[in-house]
A and B are shown apart, each in its own frame.
Chain A
Amino acid sequence: MSSKQVAMVIDLNKCIGCQTCTVACKTQWTSGEGQEGMWWNTVATAPGKGTPKNWENMGGGFRNGKAQPGKLPKQTEFGDPWEFNFEEALFSGDQHATLGPVGEEPDWGTNWDEDIGAGEYPNSYFFYIPRICNHCTKPACMEACPRGAIFKRDEDGIVLINEDHCRGFRFCQEACPYKEIYYNTVSGTAQKCIFCLPRVEEGVATACSRQCPGRVRFLGFLDDKDGPIYKLVHEHKVALPLHPEYETQPNVFYIPPLAPPSFDDEGNPVDDKRIPIDYLISLFGPEVRQSIEKIKAEREKRKRGEPSELMDVLISRNWLDMFGPFTNQPQDVAKTLEERARG
């Protein structure tokens, strides 16, 4: 266990599935050779098969403290990178040409099952679930690596892969129950989300958090009692880890989605339980009941005009309040670093 632990809380009630976080991460970190099909941040529709396809059935993690075998995810399950007909669609002068993937018809990709969800109209439902590496307190990847190439930083709990030691054996990919590790076939090494380490070290929030137009992602240290993470995870107990039964103790937490009303045969709203509670329990554990009830109660308080610290935190009127100690502006840090480099 690290002395300090950075963590993220993702409010699923605010995520609109715009993928801005995904693109922010992609442009920041995975534009290199062999990273074409890599998405260290994904946003999938739930219920759905996710990325990689059916990752929740691929094993790994722990059960009663014992390491569980996992399946090695294939690149096709993450989704092969597609080639696009940019030349034809944008520069050929053919006004009927449309932009699209070329080559073999793809049958899977990240966010492939977008907005499909589940349920029968008018009681169909879905919500978006952004995912990154969970920088677990008990990382199954780290425990699986025979070379000790994965480590957890004491100062912030960020889990990193030392690519100089990595030999591409990929036991980490199998062991991670969230299947958040990719294999770079060019470098022959495993790669994954680094929690924007170079930004965080300079007090700048992660790219996915800062770029989010929905103010969905909170950042901070788990033990910072004045920060949003502590309040949401420990004080109000409304933010929950995804699949706690994998026993890796993730440090990315979720505010569960409140459901819209169900409709009866006449089209009248009858309750607010359109998302089956059993499904939410399967994702976030039984604590999801209390979390939802707490959020609903606090919402009602605000409706009555009463104060609610929880609602204030979740609404996050002051954008930078979301980021705990990581409120530095990237442009200011860049300027400081340039000045430092110039001596």
Chain B
Amino acid sequence: MQSLNVANIGGYLDPASGEWRDVPGTTVEMVPAPLGLQPTDYIIASWQDRPYGEVESLLASSVHDGNRIAIRLDWASARPNTGAGEGFPDAAAIAFPVRGEPELMQMGSEDAPVHFLQWMARKNMVRSVLATGIGLSVTAPSIAETVAAGWSSGRWTVVFTREMSGTSDVSSLSPEKNSQIGFAIWNGANEERAGIKAVSPAWEDLILRA
């Protein structure tokens, strides 16, 4: 997918903003995260006969202004689940390789971590997370991440933003080098959480236009 260069991403923070109409989107095929990769026997036993990760695709689009990048996801969701009380929230994540060549499906490894931003419909919050494998994630440094989300007519639209500069645990993004991005979607109504999710099966190229 491509990230268009705009003067200022300020007009793109709202996922319903008309500015996004002129930004071409990329359809990303999604698949259920493999059952065999789930980290515990219990999770495998309890989900082997239960469908999950049924979001077949999402539409991803992006703009950047040289300092910050905005990434908009748009996917079908019959109804919004905020996970109020004891429910599980709808959620989405965008992932970036930090160093080395991490396997997206494996959530990276100790030498090749994956950084991701996760939005959850509960409290409409975003978390910056560093993963070094399945079930091995810790809070990552803040990169001034923000999120805005809305649900209408059977679709969630979510805009993540972050600084393009990185840290030792967050990959920097720039027009000078090709980057990669991965995606995950959780359907709260189906009690999806942790590794029970829909994922993009491989890294997508993320090309930032100069």
Contact = CB atoms under 8 A, between A and B. Distances in A.
Interface of A: 66-70, 72, 74-75, 140, 143-148, 167, 169-171, 174-175, 183, 185
The majority secondary structure among interface residues of chain B is: loop
B194 A169 contact: yes
A147 B38 CA distance: 11
Contacts of B39: 146
Contacts of A147: 135, 137, 194
B193 interface: yes
B191 interface: yes
Contacts of B78: none
A75 B86 contact: yes
A168 to B, nearest CB: 8
Given A169-B194, A171-B194, A144 B43 contact: yes
B38 A185 contact: no
B41 interface: yes
Nearest to A72: B191
A66 B86 CA distance: 28
A144 B40 contact: yes
Nearest to B48: A69
A148 B133 CA distance: 13
A300 B186 CA distance: 63
B59 interface: no
A140 B41 CA distance: 10
Contacts of B42: 67, 69, 140, 143-144, 171, 174-175
Contacts of A67: 40-42, 44-46
Contacts of B195: 146
A148 B135 contact: yes
A169 B40 CA distance: 13
Contacts of A185: 85-86
Contacts of A170: 193
State the 4 A-B residue pairs at the shortest beta-carbon distance, nearest first.
A144-B42, A69-B46, A67-B42, A146-B135
A72 B194 CA distance: 15
Given A146-B135, A170-B193, 7 more contacts: A66-B45, A143-B41, A169-B193, A171-B40, A174-B46, A175-B42, A175-B46
A210 B84 CA distance: 38
Interface string B131-145: 000110100000000
Contact of B134 (A69, A74, A146): A146
Contacts of B46: 67, 69-70, 171, 174-175
Contacts of A66: 41, 45
Contacts of B134: 146
Contacts of B193: 167, 169-170
Of A66, A67, A72, A148, chain B has the most CB atoms within 10 Å of the CB of A67
B127 to A, nearest CB: 10
A67 B43 CA distance: 9
Given A69-B45, A70-B46, A143 B86 contact: no
Nearest to B85: A185
A169 B38 CA distance: 13
Nearest to B87: A185
6 contacts: A75-B85, A140-B42, A146-B38, A146-B194, A167-B193, A169-B193
A69 B85 CA distance: 23
A167 B194 contact: yes
B194 A183 contact: no
Contacts of B44: 67
Interface in B37-94: 38-46, 85-86
Contacts of A75: 85-86
